[in-house]
């Protein structure tokens, strides 16, 4: 009750602070000195948003159902952990979290950019405040988390059980840090364009923010994918679902930017391209928010379908795009004479090629996601785009992408006259070809593209391993990330090719044989848990070496709201995951049992983690260079 | 000059995108298929589920006044749910039930039929999913009521309910 009001008012105060900072920053831009009040008000703003967020958390913890958000998304019977994570497990709360991260990042930027041009700093604040004001208005007008309900309901509606998972409790905050980081890149880029400050120094500074968003986006996507694998029980980790695509697109764009900024830093090339990529990254993040929050895309992520929200984000998105394009066309001063001679065999060209490929992947995902929407509006025809589309369009190009990725880092900046270890690189190529052929012989399938893809990722794998043994420790972070990527592609591939599955209906006491394993459904056990009824099935799986594994897949029947979820039991080892999930068949003693053997599953997570660790190391180096 | 054209094109493109996305907000997510009824069935050749022999549409749709074509698969939970309705329909002697086994594992499919009973007088296989697309299928399960002139007279998207069975029986009667 009290917390609710405090939260609401401090949110309004936060908006006031935003407008004040915006006006002050315009004034300081004219005076060419930074008004000291900007700093204090920015802190105040962060403080207000923090208070507001904390009060919402308190409302959730004490189950104050006079708050509409709490009423819609919580329940007294819920464990305290999910009460807290429920704060951002819904539309309103997640936007508040977004605001919190936005204001936090602005403060961090202010602290971190002391040595930079004053006007550049002021302009970045101005643009960032425009975004913050936009989000404040969005929260207050269309999705206020502090709507008051009277009379106070006695019980809440409960949190969607599928969201009651530790991975999902941390998935949104991490992803948001990534998204919000891209907003800071966007503001800083526009400021730098106006001040004509797109240069080596700028590249050095902006790279920190690019790395921060990149690392968090990578981990955020990974956690979401882990959640999908363990909780949804579909037996996969990536479904090319539009909502997944929407988080993948900024990631691809950011990856391109990360490499492009290197060229800018070393050679002062590709200025316009860097600007476009920065703008595109943020636009794609916003576009994702629009698609998910407006309810155009339906999925587990869609919290509520409210067209007024959609219209607000859409207008805001196009407002930002228009501003950025106007600024780009008026102020961008990359002249023809700035171009330097570029040699084909150089690092910058290989990075450029990498960018082209990434842009291609990006456009495939973009078209696959948006085309159905456009088609439906224009000719009222509904199609759905599934994995075959993405696999067919992306996989063949991945082969060349991987080969370029292995060769590129071996080239020098400016011009490579003599590739050292030329011989070694060629030998490695043949080795990986032979290994991949052997792998295929063993599996007994023949598919040229898959063989080539395995060869290409093995090539990258071997080349990066070789790099680890080279003398210089220089650029250790890049090696880890590239190594992680090759491992990722390899494990996804082998996982895809070697996975096998059996779906069968069993009742207690029945047995069935799958390949060389015997699966026995021993018993079931009913338990009453804190906020759900649990049905645990006991299965034993005996393999040909007489090793017996016990599987305990679980069905959870939640009371609030009444939903059944199935928790798969997954036995993870270094080389394969065994996955067993059961589902009820209504009015039947039979259970639908799905058993899957998925090789190298854990390596997908490990390699993604390596990718992120590489980014993190690079960030660490950056911060210590200063 | 070149820049100006570029800007104009960009403005057009962006306004187009804005328009489309704006429009998409209005359209609801609930999908109502266009009327596919009163449509003549195209001829096709398929494979019999049990004998694995080639079978043509003329052979399938002969010897009865009404036919029901049901698209199903063992992996589809709603199909399992509607199975009792199909069993009920199979008792009506003026209807011939044709099953279209969609992208399924034959072993699992046979297991399902053994467990829940086989309502179909003939089952054809659609391993690639192409045949279902040709029928105008939207998703499984889907059921078409076909008359003796091989015209689709009614379509049921999703699992059959008691009510749909009543509807079918009243048409067929």
Mean pLDDT along residues A80-99: 87
Mean pLDDT along residues B82-86: 85
CA distance B156 to chain A (A): 18
Does the beta carbon of A377 lie under 8 angstroms from any beta carbon of chain B?
Answer: yes
CA distance B23 to chain A (A): 7
Residue boundaries of the structural domains of chain B: 39-172
- Give the B-side interface with A, CB within 8 Å: 3, 7, 10, 14, 18, 20-27, 29, 31, 74-75, 77, 80-81, 105, 108, 111-112, 115
CA distance B66 to chain A (A): 30
Q: Which residue has the higher pLDDT, B164 or A337?
A: B164
CATH number of B39-172: 3.40.30.10
User: Does the distance separating the beta carbons of B21 and A505 come in below 8 Å?
Assistant: no
pLDDT for B21: 83
Lookup result for tokens 């990536």: A238
Mean predicted lDDT score pLDDT of chain A: 85
Residue A257 — very low, low, confident or very high, per pLDDT cuts 50/70/90? Answer: very high
Q: What stretch of H or E contains B100? A: strand B95-102
Does the beta carbon of A310 lie under 8 angstroms from any beta carbon of chain B?
Answer: yes
pLDDT tens track for A176-190:
889 989 999 999 999
- Above 70 in pLDDT, residue A305? no
- Above 50 in pLDDT, residue B32? no
Q: Which residues of A585-606 are buried (b: 16+ CB within 10 A; e: fewer)?
A: beeeebbbbbbbbbbbbbbbbb
Compute the distance between CA of residue A402 and CA of residue A395 in angstroms, rounded to an integer.
11
Lookup result for tokens 């070149």: B2
Q: Which residue has the higher pLDDT, B11 or A409?
A: B11
Compute the distance between CA of residue A205 and CA of residue A188 in angstroms, rounded to an integer.
10
pLDDT tens track for A379-400:
877 777 778 889 889 988 999 9
CA distance A194 to chain B (A): 18
Residue A50 — very low, low, confident or very high, per pLDDT cuts 50/70/90? Answer: very high
pLDDT for A137: 94
pLDDT for B43: 76
Give B-chain residues touching A314 at CB under 8 angstroms.
18, 21-22, 25
Looking at chain A, the whole-number percentage of residues with pLDDT higher than 90 is: 30
pLDDT for B31: 41
- Above 80 in pLDDT, residue B24? no
Give A-chain residues touching B24 at CB under 8 angstroms.
296, 373, 376-377
Sheet holding A569-572, edge to edge: A500-506, A591-599, A576-584, A569-572
The partner residue sitting opposite A329, judged by closest CB among B7, B29, B31, is: B7
The partner residue sitting opposite B108, judged by closest CB among A314, A374, A503, is: A503
* SS3 per-residue string spanning A129-176: HHHHHHHHHHHHHHCCCCCECCCCCCCCCCCCHHHCCHHHHHHHHHHH
pLDDT tens track for A106-117:
999 998 888 888
Q: Which residue has the higher pLDDT, A582 or A137?
A: A137
The partner residue sitting opposite A294, judged by closest CB among B25, B74, B108, is: B25
User: Does the distance separating the beta carbons of B75 and A296 come in below 8 Å?
Assistant: no
Question: Could you give the angle at which helices A307-331 and B2-26 cross, rounded to 10 degrees?
Answer: 170
pLDDT for B28: 46
User: Does the distance separating the beta carbons of A504 and B111 come in below 8 Å?
Assistant: yes
Give B-chain residues touching A301 at CB under 8 angstroms.
none
Within 13 Å and on the Cβ side, how many CA atoms surround B20? Answer: 17
- Above 70 in pLDDT, residue B45? yes
Compute the distance between CA of residue A460 and CA of residue B68 in angstroms, rounded to an integer.
55
Looking at chain A, the whole-number percentage of residues with pLDDT higher than 70 is: 91
C-alpha closest to that of A288 among A384, A172, A388: A172
Give A-chain residues touching B10 at CB under 8 angstroms.
325
pLDDT for B29: 46
Give B-chain residues touching A290 at CB under 8 angstroms.
21
> Which range has highest mean pLDDT (A127-131, A193-197, A525-529, A591-595)?
A127-131
Mean pLDDT along residues A193-206: 89
Q: Beta strands A548-551 and A554-558: pairing type?
A: unpaired
Give B-chain residues touching A318 at CB under 8 angstroms.
14, 18
Give A-chain residues touching B77 at CB under 8 angstroms.
583, 592
User: Does the distance separating the beta carbons of B108 and A314 come in below 8 Å?
Assistant: no
Compute the distance between CA of residue B155 and CA of residue B135 in angstroms, rounded to an integer.
11
pLDDT for A544: 79
Give B-chain residues touching A296 at CB under 8 angstroms.
21, 24-25, 29
- Above 60 in pLDDT, residue A352? yes
Compute the distance between CA of residue A561 and CA of residue A538 in angstroms, rounded to an integer.
27
CA distance A310 to chain B (A): 7
Poorest-pLDDT segment among A40-54, B92-106, B121-135: B121-135
pLDDT for A260: 92
- Above 80 in pLDDT, residue B99? yes
The partner residue sitting opposite A378, judged by closest CB among B18, B20, B29, is: B20
Q: Which residues of A461-473 are buried (b: 16+ CB within 10 A; e: fewer)?
A: bbbbebbeeeeee
Residues constituting chain B: 173
pLDDT for A102: 92
User: Does the distance separating the beta carbons of A590 and B24 come in below 8 Å?
Assistant: no
When scoring A286, A372, A374, A581 by the number of chain B Cβ atoms within 10 A, the one with the most, hence best to mutate, is A374
**Under a CB-based contact definition with an 8 Å cutoff, are residues B72 and B140 in contact?**
yes
Q: Which residue has the higher pLDDT, A307 or A408?
A: A408
Q: DSSP 3-state assignment of A67?
A: strand
Poorest-pLDDT segment among A190-199, A480-489, B137-146: B137-146
Compute the distance between CA of residue B27 and CA of residue B29 in angstroms, rounded to an integer.
7
Mean pLDDT along residues A323-338: 77
Q: Write out the DSSP string of A536-580.
A: EEEEEEE-TT--EEEE--EEEEETTTTEEEEEPEEEE-SSEEEEE
Longest dimension (CA), chain B: 77
pLDDT for B36: 52
Give B-chain residues touching A305 at CB under 8 angstroms.
29
CA distance B94 to chain A (A): 30
pLDDT tens track for A457-468:
899 998 888 888
pLDDT for B34: 47
pTM here?
A: 0.78
Residue B158 — very low, low, confident or very high, per pLDDT cuts 50/70/90? Answer: confident
Give A-chain residues touching B81 at CB under 8 angstroms.
586
pLDDT for A159: 67
Give A-chain residues touching B14 at CB under 8 angstroms.
318, 321-322, 325
- Above 50 in pLDDT, residue B30? no
A residues 551..610 contacting B (CB < 8 A): 583, 585-586, 590, 592
A residues 345..374 contacting B (CB < 8 A): 373-374
CA distance B22 to chain A (A): 7
- Above 70 in pLDDT, residue A347? yes
Give A-chain residues touching B18 at CB under 8 angstroms.
314, 318
pLDDT tens track for A536-594:
888 888 887 878 888 888 888 877 666 777 778 888 888 888 888 887 765 567 788 88
ipTM above 0.95 for this complex:
no
pLDDT for B132: 74
- Above 80 in pLDDT, residue A42? yes
pLDDT for A610: 93
CA distance A162 to chain B (A): 19
């Amino acid at each position: 009750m009290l917390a609710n009001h405090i939260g609401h008012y401090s949110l309004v105060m936060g908006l006031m602070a935003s407008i004040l900072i915006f006006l002050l920053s315009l004034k300081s831009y004219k005076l060419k000195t930074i008004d000291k009040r900007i700093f204090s008000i920015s802190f105040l703003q962060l403080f207000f948003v923090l208070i507001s967020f904390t009060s919402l958390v308190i409302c959730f913890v004490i189950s104050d159902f006079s708050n509409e958000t709490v009423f819609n998304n919580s329940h007294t019977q819920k464990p305290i952990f999910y009460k807290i994570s429920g704060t951002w497990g819904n539309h309103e709360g997640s936007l508040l979290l977004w605001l919190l991260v936005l204001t936090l990042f602005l403060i961090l930027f202010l602290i971190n950019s002391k040595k930079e041009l004053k006007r550049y700093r002021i302009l970045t604040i101005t643009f960032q405040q425009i975004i913050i004001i936009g989000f404040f208005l969005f929260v207050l007008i269309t999705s206020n988390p502090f709507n008051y309900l009277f009379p106070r309901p006695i019980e809440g509606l409960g949190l969607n059980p599928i969201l009651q998972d530790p991975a999902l409790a941390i998935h949104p905050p991490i992803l948001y840090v990534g998204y919000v980081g891209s907003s800071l890149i966007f503001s800083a880029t526009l400021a730098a364009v106006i001040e004509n400050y797109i240069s080596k120094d700028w590249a050095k500074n902006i790279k920190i923010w690019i790395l921060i968003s990149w690392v968090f986006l990578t981990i955020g996507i990974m956690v979401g994918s882990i959640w999908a694998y363990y909780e949804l029980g579909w037996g996969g980790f990536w479904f090319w679902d539009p909502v997944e695509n929407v988080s993948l697109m900024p990631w691809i764009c950011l990856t391109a930017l990360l490499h492009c900024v290197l060229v800018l830093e070393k050679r002062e090339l590709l200025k316009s391209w860097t600007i476009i990529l920065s703008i595109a990254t943020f636009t794609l993040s916003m576009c994702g928010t629009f698609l998910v929050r407006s309810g155009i895309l339906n999925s587990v992520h869609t919290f509520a379908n409210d067209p007024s929200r959609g219209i607000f984000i859409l207008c805001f998105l196009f407002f930002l795009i228009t501003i950025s394009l106007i600024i780009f066309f008026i102020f961008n001063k990359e002249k023809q004479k700035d171009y330097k001679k570029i040699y084909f065999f150089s690092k910058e060209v290989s990075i450029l090629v990498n960018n082209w490929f990434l842009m291609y992947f990006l456009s495939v995902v973009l078209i696959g996601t948006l085309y159905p929407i456009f088609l439906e509006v224009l000719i009222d025809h509904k199609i759905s785009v599934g994995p075959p589309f993405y696999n067919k369009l992306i996989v063949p190009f991945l082969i060349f992408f991987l080969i370029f990725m292995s060769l590129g880092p071996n080239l020098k900046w400016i011009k490579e006259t003599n590739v050292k270890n030329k011989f070694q690189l060629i030998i490695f190529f043949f080795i990986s070809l032979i290994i991949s052929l052997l792998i295929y012989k063993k599996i007994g399938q023949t598919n040229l593209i898959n063989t080539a893809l395995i060869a290409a990722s093995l090539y990258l794998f071997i080349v990066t391993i070789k790099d680890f043994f080279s003398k210089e420790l220089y650029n250790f972070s890049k090696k880890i990330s590239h190594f992680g990527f090759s491992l990722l592609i390899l494990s996804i591939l082998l996982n895809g090719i070697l996975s096998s599955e059996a779906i069968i209906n069993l009742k207690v006491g029945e047995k069935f044989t799958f390949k060389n394993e015997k699966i026995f459904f021993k018993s079931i056990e009913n338990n009453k848990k804190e906020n759900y009824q649990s049905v645990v099935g006991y299965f034993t799986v005996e393999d040909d070496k007489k090793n017996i594994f016990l599987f305990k897949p679980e069905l959870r029947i939640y009371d609030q709201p009444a939903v059944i979820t199935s928790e798969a039991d997954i036995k993870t080892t270094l080389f394969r995951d065994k996955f067993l999930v059961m589902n009820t068949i209504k009015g039947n003693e039979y259970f639908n049992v799905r058993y899957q053997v998925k090789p190298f599953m854990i390596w997908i997570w490990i390699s993604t983690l390596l990718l992120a660790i590489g980014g993190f190391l690079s960030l660490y180096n950056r911060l210590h260079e200063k | 000059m070149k820049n100006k054209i570029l800007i104009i094109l960009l403005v057009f493109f962006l306004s187009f995108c804005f328009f489309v996305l704006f429009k998409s907000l209005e359209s609801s997510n609930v999908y109502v298929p266009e009327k596919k009824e009163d449509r003549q069935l195209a001829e096709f050749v398929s494979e019999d589920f049990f004998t694995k022999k080639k079978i043509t549409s003329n052979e399938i749709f002969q010897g009865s006044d009404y036919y029901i074509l049901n698209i199903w698969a063992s992996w589809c939970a709603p199909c399992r749910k509607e199975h009792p309705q199909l069993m009920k329909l199979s008792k009506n002697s003026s209807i011939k039930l044709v099953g279209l086994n969609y992208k399924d594992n034959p072993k699992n499919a046979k297991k399902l039929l053994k467990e829940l009973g086989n309502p179909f007088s003939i089952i054809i296989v659609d391993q690639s999913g192409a045949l279902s697309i040709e029928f105008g299928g939207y998703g499984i399960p889907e059921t078409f009521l076909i008359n003796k002139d091989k015209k689709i007279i009614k379509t049921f998207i999703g699992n059959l309910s008691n009510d749909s069975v009543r509807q079918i029986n009243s048409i067929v009667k």
